[in-house]
Each structure stands twice: as C-alpha cells, then as structure tokens.
Amino acid sequence: MKITTYIACVAIAVFLLVPATSAGKLGSLKRNPEMEQSFKEGRPPAGYRYYATGRDNLPDAIVGLEPGYRQTAKFWREIDAEAGDVKQLSTRMTTNYKRDAPRAYAILSPDGHIIGVYFSSIYFTTVEMGSDNAVKIYKPKPPRAGP
C-alpha cells in the first residue's frame, strides 16, 4: 500500500514538472515613466520593432521589441514605426474597463535586461521567452470580476 502511494506521488510530480521545465522562461514588465512620457508626447521610443493587437484602428496594446527579438504569440500584427503608425495607434488607445489611462512598461528578459516596451491600458499579460530570441507576449486580458 505504501509503495503504491509513493509511486503515485512520484508519477504525479513528474507529470507536473515536465511541462513546467519544457515551457519557456518568463520575462516581466516594469513600469517605465520615461517610455510612458515618450508615448504621451507622440514620440514612441525609437529603435524597436513594433506590434499591435486588437482592432486595426483601436489597439488593445502596442509592443516594441529590440531588433534581435521577435514576437511569436498569436493575434499580433507588425506595424510600421517609420510610417508613423505607432504614433497614430498610441494616440487612439483609450482607457480600459476601469477608466485607467494607457501606461508604458519596460519588457524585461528573465535576467533583467530591457528588451522592449509594452504600452496599454490593460496591465495584465504574460511574457514568455523562447529559444533563439523568440518572445511570446500574450494578448492582454482584463482580470475577471466576481466568482
């Protein structure tokens, strides 16, 4: 009986740990007032490759990544920073469900290096780092209200 329980516990532990170790490492977001001011002044931070998610003319979020990194999550489209698309979309971004204004966050790699910028009025997302500088920044979702 004790051996069966032990084997079952080991099997469950292996079942739970294998997916966790095969997943990418998590990055993070850190609010960045300088980046935020740049967006508010209509001059998004330069030197990034930009992506947007949401409606074509009213995005939920805008992400800029260092040139060596690439966004691999679904539901994002690349936007042209040189044509002024980033500036135009960032000025159209509205407040969220709680009437919070958009904010800018530095996107940090697992080791703490800034690899990009996240701009949105929805502050809840996941940053997952993959191999070969692949980055998955998931489409932001507001938290659920209630049970």
pLDDT digits (tens, 9 = 90+) for 84-141: 899 888 888 866 556 788 999 999 999 999 999 999 988 889 999 999 999 999 999 8
**Contact indicator for 137, 107 with CB cutoff of 8 Å:** yes
| pTM of structure | 0.79
Average pLDDT in the 22-31 region?
Answer: 84
Q: How far apart are CA 56 and CA 120, in angstroms?
A: 15
Handedness of CA 16, 18, 24, 28 (dihedral sign): positive
Question: Residue 29 — pLDDT band, cuts 50, 70, 90?
Answer: very high
Residue in this structure with the two tokens 């979020």, named with its chain if needed? 61
Residue 38: which H helix or E strand, with range?
helix 33-40
Q: Is residue 58 pLDDT above 60, yes or no?
A: yes
**E-only strand ranges, 11-102:** 25-26, 28-31, 49-54, 59-65, 70-71, 77-79
pLDDT the model gives residue 144: 67
